[in-house]
Amino acid sequence: MTEKDWHGKEIKDEHAKAIGRIAYAWNELHEHLSEIFGLLFAREDYGLALTAWHALATDAGQRDMLKAVAKVKLGSDSKAYHELKWALKKIKEPLDKQRNTGVHLPLMIFTDMSQGPASPAIPQILPNMLFGNARPGI
Protein backbone atom coordinates (compact mmCIF):
# COMPACT_ATOMS: atom_id res chain seq x y z
CA MET A 1 0.00 0.00 0.00
CA THR A 2 1.47 3.36 -1.00
CA GLU A 3 0.98 6.58 0.92
CA LYS A 4 -1.32 7.69 -1.90
CA ASP A 5 -3.60 4.71 -1.26
CA TRP A 6 -3.66 5.02 2.53
CA HIS A 7 -7.23 5.03 3.83
CA GLY A 8 -8.05 8.35 5.50
CA LYS A 9 -5.00 10.18 4.12
CA GLU A 10 -7.10 12.83 2.35
CA ILE A 11 -9.03 13.82 5.47
CA LYS A 12 -5.84 13.78 7.55
CA ASP A 13 -4.12 16.06 5.04
CA GLU A 14 -7.06 18.47 5.14
CA HIS A 15 -6.86 18.64 8.93
CA ALA A 16 -3.11 19.20 8.75
CA LYS A 17 -3.71 22.15 6.41
CA ALA A 18 -6.31 23.57 8.80
CA ILE A 19 -3.90 23.27 11.74
CA GLY A 20 -1.24 25.01 9.66
CA ARG A 21 -3.67 27.83 8.87
CA ILE A 22 -4.43 28.25 12.58
CA ALA A 23 -0.71 28.50 13.39
CA TYR A 24 -0.07 30.87 10.49
CA ALA A 25 -2.93 33.21 11.50
CA TRP A 26 -1.77 33.18 15.14
CA ASN A 27 1.79 34.10 14.14
CA GLU A 28 0.53 36.85 11.85
CA LEU A 29 -1.64 38.26 14.66
CA HIS A 30 1.38 38.47 16.95
CA GLU A 31 3.48 40.16 14.29
CA HIS A 32 0.78 42.84 14.03
CA LEU A 33 0.88 43.21 17.81
CA SER A 34 4.65 43.65 17.59
CA GLU A 35 4.12 46.51 15.14
CA ILE A 36 1.72 48.18 17.58
CA PHE A 37 4.28 47.69 20.33
CA GLY A 38 6.99 49.28 18.20
CA LEU A 39 4.79 52.26 17.40
CA LEU A 40 4.44 53.05 21.11
CA PHE A 41 8.10 54.08 21.05
CA ALA A 42 9.90 56.94 19.35
CA ARG A 43 10.79 56.30 15.70
CA GLU A 44 14.49 55.93 16.51
CA ASP A 45 13.67 53.29 19.14
CA TYR A 46 11.36 51.18 16.93
CA GLY A 47 14.05 48.57 16.20
CA LEU A 48 15.03 48.37 19.85
CA ALA A 49 11.37 47.89 20.83
CA LEU A 50 11.04 45.00 18.38
CA THR A 51 14.25 43.48 19.74
CA ALA A 52 12.73 43.55 23.24
CA TRP A 53 9.46 42.11 21.91
CA HIS A 54 11.15 39.16 20.22
CA ALA A 55 13.40 38.53 23.23
CA LEU A 56 10.39 37.23 25.14
CA ALA A 57 9.80 33.52 24.63
CA THR A 58 6.01 33.45 24.99
CA ASP A 59 3.15 35.13 23.17
CA ALA A 60 1.40 35.76 26.49
CA GLY A 61 4.48 37.53 27.83
CA GLN A 62 4.63 39.72 24.74
CA ARG A 63 0.96 40.64 25.09
CA ASP A 64 1.46 41.47 28.80
CA MET A 65 4.41 43.69 27.89
CA LEU A 66 2.35 45.44 25.19
CA LYS A 67 -0.43 46.12 27.66
CA ALA A 68 1.97 47.46 30.31
CA VAL A 69 3.79 49.79 27.92
CA ALA A 70 0.52 50.96 26.33
CA LYS A 71 -0.84 51.85 29.76
CA VAL A 72 2.14 54.09 30.44
CA LYS A 73 2.44 55.57 26.93
CA LEU A 74 -1.27 56.06 26.18
CA GLY A 75 -2.55 56.62 29.71
CA SER A 76 -4.84 54.31 31.62
CA ASP A 77 -7.84 56.55 30.93
CA SER A 78 -7.35 56.85 27.17
CA LYS A 79 -9.78 55.31 24.71
CA ALA A 80 -6.88 53.81 22.74
CA TYR A 81 -5.59 52.00 25.83
CA HIS A 82 -9.05 50.64 26.68
CA GLU A 83 -9.57 49.42 23.09
CA LEU A 84 -6.17 47.69 23.10
CA LYS A 85 -6.85 46.17 26.52
CA TRP A 86 -10.22 44.86 25.22
CA ALA A 87 -8.55 43.33 22.14
CA LEU A 88 -5.83 41.69 24.23
CA LYS A 89 -8.48 40.23 26.54
CA LYS A 90 -10.30 38.74 23.52
CA ILE A 91 -7.03 37.25 22.28
CA LYS A 92 -6.39 35.68 25.68
CA GLU A 93 -9.95 34.41 26.09
CA PRO A 94 -11.32 32.76 23.96
CA LEU A 95 -8.85 32.89 21.04
CA ASP A 96 -5.84 31.54 22.93
CA LYS A 97 -7.76 28.49 24.17
CA GLN A 98 -9.29 27.89 20.76
CA ARG A 99 -5.89 28.14 19.10
CA ASN A 100 -4.33 25.76 21.61
CA THR A 101 -7.14 23.27 21.11
CA GLY A 102 -6.86 23.49 17.34
CA VAL A 103 -3.09 23.08 17.28
CA HIS A 104 -2.51 20.68 20.19
CA LEU A 105 -5.61 18.47 20.24
CA PRO A 106 -4.60 14.84 19.69
CA LEU A 107 -6.53 13.39 16.76
CA MET A 108 -7.28 9.93 15.45
CA ILE A 109 -8.74 8.53 12.26
CA PHE A 110 -12.00 6.69 12.78
CA THR A 111 -13.59 4.74 9.97
CA ASP A 112 -17.37 4.66 10.11
CA MET A 113 -18.56 1.21 9.06
CA SER A 114 -22.09 1.68 10.44
CA GLN A 115 -23.69 1.47 6.99
CA GLY A 116 -22.67 -2.17 6.68
CA PRO A 117 -20.01 -4.04 4.71
CA ALA A 118 -21.59 -3.25 1.32
CA SER A 119 -21.33 0.54 1.89
CA PRO A 120 -18.14 2.53 1.51
CA ALA A 121 -16.12 3.10 4.68
CA ILE A 122 -16.16 6.75 5.69
CA PRO A 123 -13.00 8.04 7.38
CA GLN A 124 -13.44 10.74 10.03
CA ILE A 125 -11.09 12.70 12.25
CA LEU A 126 -12.05 12.66 15.93
CA PRO A 127 -10.40 13.87 19.14
CA ASN A 128 -8.24 11.08 20.54
CA MET A 129 -9.32 10.79 24.16
CA LEU A 130 -8.19 7.17 24.56
CA PHE A 131 -5.04 8.01 26.53
CA GLY A 132 -6.47 10.69 28.82
CA ASN A 133 -5.30 13.80 26.96
CA ALA A 134 -8.26 16.17 27.21
CA ARG A 135 -7.66 19.60 25.74
CA PRO A 136 -9.86 22.41 27.04
CA GLY A 137 -12.73 23.45 24.84
CA ILE A 138 -13.80 20.07 23.51
Task: Report domain extents, the chain.
Answer: 3-105
- pLDDT at residue 32 tops 90: yes
Instruction: Specify the pTM.
Output: 0.79
CA distance linking residue 18 with residue 39, whole number of Å = 32
CA distance linking residue 81 with residue 67, whole number of Å = 8
CA distance linking residue 33 with residue 7, whole number of Å = 41
pLDDT of amino acid 123? 78
pLDDT of amino acid 137? 47
- End-to-end Cα spacing for the chain: 34
pLDDT, tens digit, 9 for 90 and up, residues 48-71: 999 999 999 999 999 999 999 999
User: Under a CB-based contact definition with an 8 Å cutoff, are residues 31 and 25 in contact?
Assistant: no
Average pLDDT of the segment spanning 101-121: 78
Choose the weakest-confidence range: 10-24, 36-50, 108-122.
108-122
For 115, half-sphere exposure in the C-beta direction (CA atoms, 13 angstrom radius) is 8
Question: Nearest-CA neighbor of 33 among 78, 72, 69, 77?
Answer: 69
